[in-house]
């Protein structure tokens, strides 16, 4: 099995953190990294000690849930709380940061924003990142990198396909093949 890259490792950590989100409107995770070491992490959640959207429902004003602190902000605030410098650090986020987080990341000295998914990328956020020299790099999580049985599965699927083809696979089977490829092979 191949070693996973640092980018994949940190991005995987952010995806794991996203699963801890307490607001299901958008599950976001963020990991702050300095010198290849994780110094903080955050997810979309209520302030400590308050109720959670998953229990009480979202607190929506003007179409936005106002209850949560965004993942990126939570990660930065964890650094503030425990006294870790973010100057020159990088962040790995599951989604492209919103405008508020963009400004906070720049102001905290974050140098590179690695993000997995585009998400309503705000034009002004893109402009601000450019203007201030903060790099934004898309790093898609390669789920197969975490599947140690991946190669075996792939071989099994290929053998099944070959058998199906021998038996004149019809339209229905072709549809199923597409589903298998979507779920297991990328």
**Rule CB under 5 A: which residues touch Zn ion?**
23, 53, 58, 65, 67, 70, 98, 101
The region, left, alpha or beta by phi > 0 then psi within -120 to 50, assigned to residue 135 is: beta
Q: Of 72, 123, 179, 181, which one is the catalytic site residue? A: 72
**181 classed as catalytic:** no
Rounded to a whole number of angstroms, the minimum distance from the CB of residue 76 to Zn ion is 11
Rounded to a whole number of angstroms, the minimum distance from the CB of residue 111 to Zn ion is 18
Dihedral angle computed from the Cα positions of residues 110, 32, 40 and 58, in that order, rounded to the nearest 10 degrees: 90
Instruction: Quote the strand ranges of the chain, DSSP E.
Output: 29-34, 37-43, 45-46, 60-61, 64-65, 68-69, 90-95, 112-117, 135-138
Cβ distance to Zn ion smaller for residue 109 or 159? 109
Rounded to a whole number of angstroms, the minimum distance from the CB of residue 71 to Zn ion is 7
Cβ distance to Zn ion smaller for residue 76 or 89? 76
Cβ distance to Zn ion smaller for residue 60 or 144? 60
Rounded to a whole number of angstroms, the minimum distance from the CB of residue 28 to Zn ion is 8
Burial class, 9, CB count within 10 angstroms (exposed 0-12 / middle 13-18 / buried 19+): middle
Cβ distance to Zn ion smaller for residue 8 or 42? 42
Instruction: Quote the strand ranges of 24-161, DSSP E.
Output: 29-34, 37-43, 45-46, 60-61, 64-65, 68-69, 90-95, 112-117, 135-138
Catalytic residues: 72
């Amino acid at each position: 099995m191949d070693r996973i890259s640092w980018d994949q490792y940190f991005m995987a950590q952010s995806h794991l953190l996203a699963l801890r989100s307490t607001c299901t409107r958008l599950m976001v995770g963020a990991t702050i990294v300095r010198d290849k070491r994780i110094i903080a992490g955050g997810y979309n959640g209520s302030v400590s000690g308050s109720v959670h959207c998953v229990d009480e429902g979202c607190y929506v004003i003007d179409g936005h849930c106002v209850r949560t602190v965004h993942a990126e902000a939570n990660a930065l605030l964890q650094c503030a709380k425990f006294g870790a410098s973010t100057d020159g650090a990088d962040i790995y986020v599951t989604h492209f940061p919103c405008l508020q987080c963009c400004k906070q990341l720049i102001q905290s000295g974050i140098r590179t924003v690695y993000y997995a998914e585009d998400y309503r990328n705000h034009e002004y956020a893109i402009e601000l990142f450019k203007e201030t020299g903060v790099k934004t790099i898309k790093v898609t999580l390669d789920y197969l990198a975490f599947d140690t049985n991946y190669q075996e599965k792939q071989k099994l699927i290929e053998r099944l396909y070959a058998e199906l083809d021998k038996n004149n696979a019809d339209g229905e089977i072709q549809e199923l093949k597409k589903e298998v490829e979507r779920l297991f092979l990328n």
